[in-house]
Chain A
Amino acid sequence: MKSYPISIKPFGERAVLVEWPGEVSESILADILDFMDAFKELKISGWEMSVAYNSLTMVYNQDHIDFEETKNMILECHEKQAKSKTERIQHLWTLPVCYDLEFGMDIEEASKTLGLSVKELIEQHTSHQYVVYGIGFLPGFMYLGGLPTSLEIPRRAEPRLKVQKGSVGLASKQTGIYPQDSPGGWNIIGNCPVNLFDPSKKEPCFVKVGDKIQFESISKAEYKLHKIEGEVGIYEPEKVVLNA
């Protein structure tokens, strides 16, 4: 696989922004993840890296950095990366969503706008795999790509002051889950009972950038069961290894 060209920009006193071509693409994401693996191999402590779609923000927590020096180090790493690809384990997670009107307060209106029945909307939302292109905005919030164009709907004209934790929403090219109560302008079509961010765990967020998500429609009874299982800590969402 070829490597994409990158550009490196200074970002304050201790960070740089590395950018790949400005598209939402799985092969660009794979290239970014390859770069991160190659950089981690260098074992330079103190660097934090976070991905969002086509960019990687690299922050050196220990000190201010020299931009030119950092840029050269990154370019060198990017060059080497093309030669030695590392194996990564990625997962496909099946996340249950209850699309009942109790949770999906906008699902009827959204269906109407999209010219679909509620059933068709659910079928389409659950029949695709969504790629995790980044985690940000809120702890555990996943930026998901791959929404079918038939489900693209504008944000609500007026954002809600409080969207409930677990709410599953649609907004233009995106779908996603609110990992906590938050203000928000997305069209809410259901709720996912899985806790996406748990700071008491060693890895507070089980999903990794590059993983895939598929939603599964569940009943209200199953929702309640998963919610209780989650609270007592015995619920594990279903996963399969993608690149085994």
Chain B
Amino acid sequence: MLKVLKPGLYLTIQDLGRYGYRDIGVPISGAMDVESVKKANLLLENDENDAVLEITMTGPTLQFDTDTYISLSGAHIVATLNNEPIDNYTVIKVEKGDILSYGRLEKGFRGYLAVKGGFQSKKVLNSRSQFFPVTKTARVKDGDEIPYTETKDYEPKISEVKIEEHFEINKLKVYKGPEFSLLSDTQLTEIFAKPFTISKENNRMAYQLSELITGHSHSMLTSGTLPGTIQLTPAGRMIILMKDGQTTGGYPRILQLSEESISVLAQKKYGDELKFKLV
């Protein structure tokens, strides 16, 4: 078991998502920054869908009760194992009683902790991703114990990798959304000429942008939405749906983020700047 001594700001268990239940309104969920999770799992020779912990901004304090191997990825958050600093993207051996704790956030917004074999929390509808009320809890809390299997002797094929991080990227690649044609020339200029900043309203469900563009009065029948769908409200607010985002919506879907750009956006926080690039 991994014992949660302190959960930090927002700690969740995530795999790559819950597929096959969109038609009954269940969001995909899963890790926000898929790219970082795949790399952490790859280092441990895990399945890419193995469950990891998603750390938001402030890291947790965790204690291991059996031997295993871990790797960290995503945001650069100062991390220590028994007070010794450890790096992202290296395979680290941990022993019974070891304490992993986190300090200052340096770059990015969401960090990941992968364990050899993946966390073994209960699967609900084929996924371990936490999303209330599909799973009984929305996030990991103080005192929770998260199961994993013991690994004593493991020879990692690669012990560390050099990663080109995507924290510095601030250009998001977008495709035309189903209602792209409703945009006026003025709106198009507003969207593609200027940078936007991320508003306080940003979480696993959606990121809102601070700057408004020209509004609209187009009403449409509710229709499907996906992670990465950018909706435009009548007031001119752009809302980017993320992994826990609702499966349907009634606002025009003007743009759709590339999947790669969803991972980029997942590392942005309040006040960060971004631009859109149509592909």
Contacts and interface: CB of A to CB of B under 8 A. Distances in A.
A52 interface: yes
A54 interface: yes
Interface string A22-57: 101000000000000000000000001111111111
Interface stretch (B109-117, B140-148, B159-167, B174-182): B174-182
A17 B259 CA distance: 17
B82 interface: no
Contact of A48 (B20, B134, B135): B20
B221 A135 contact: no
B226 A199 contact: no
Contacts of B257: 12
Given A12-B175, A22-B221, A140 B25 contact: yes
Interface string B243-258: 0001111000100111
A103 to B, nearest CB: 20
A52 B259 contact: no
**Would you call the interface of chain B mostly helix, strand, loop, or mixed?**
loop
A61 B30 CA distance: 13
Chain B: interface residue count, which band?
Answer: 35 or more
Nearest to B262: A12
Nearest to A143: B222
Contacts of B135: 199
Contacts of B228: 12
8 contacts: A50-B22, A54-B223, A55-B223, A57-B22, A135-B25, A136-B222, A139-B21, A204-B125
A9 B248 contact: no
Interface of B: 19-26, 124-125, 133-135, 175-178, 220-226, 228-229, 246-249, 253, 256-259
B253 to A, nearest CB: 8
A57 B279 CA distance: 21
A52 B248 contact: yes
A197 B221 contact: no
Contact of B222 (A11, A12, A53): A53
B226 A139 contact: no
A135 B23 contact: yes
Contacts of A49: 23
B248 A137 contact: yes
Given A11-B178, A12-B175, A61-B19, A52 B133 contact: no
Nearest to A12: B256
